[in-house]
A and B are shown apart, each in its own frame.
Chain A
Amino acid sequence: SQTIHQWPATLVQPVGSPLSLECTVEGTSNPNLYWYRQAAGRGLQLLFYSVGIGQISSEVPQNLSASRPQDRQFILSSKKLLLSDSGFYLCAWSGRYEQYFGPGTRLTVT
Chain B
Amino acid sequence: QKEVEQDPGPLSVPEGAIVSLNCTYSNSAFQYFMWYRQYSRKGPELLMYTYSSGNKEDGRFTAQVDKSSKYISLFIRDSQPSDSATYLCAMRRNDGNNRKLIWGLGTSLAVNP
Contacts and interface: CB of A to CB of B under 8 A. Distances in A.
Interface in B74-106: 88, 90, 92, 97-101, 103-106
Interface stretch (A61-69, A71-79, A95-103): A95-103
A1 B5 CA distance: 33
A90 B43 contact: yes
Interface of A: 32, 34, 42-44, 46, 49, 51, 57, 88, 90, 94, 97-104, 106
Interface of B: 32, 34, 41-46, 49, 51, 88, 90, 92, 97-101, 103-106
Contacts, number: 48
A100 B46 contact: yes
A25 to B, nearest CB: 13
B100 A46 contact: yes
A104 B42 contact: yes
Secondary structure class of chain A's binding surface, majority of residues = strand
Contacts of A51: 97-98
A106 B44 CA distance: 14
A49 B100 contact: yes
28 contacts: A32-B97, A32-B99, A34-B100, A43-B88, A43-B103, A43-B104, A43-B105, A46-B100, A49-B100, A94-B99, A97-B32, A97-B34, A97-B49, A97-B51, A97-B92, A97-B99, A98-B32, A98-B34, A98-B46, A98-B49, A99-B90, A100-B46, A101-B43, A101-B44, A101-B45, A102-B43, A103-B42, A106-B41
Contacts of A98: 32, 34, 46, 49
B33 to A, nearest CB: 9
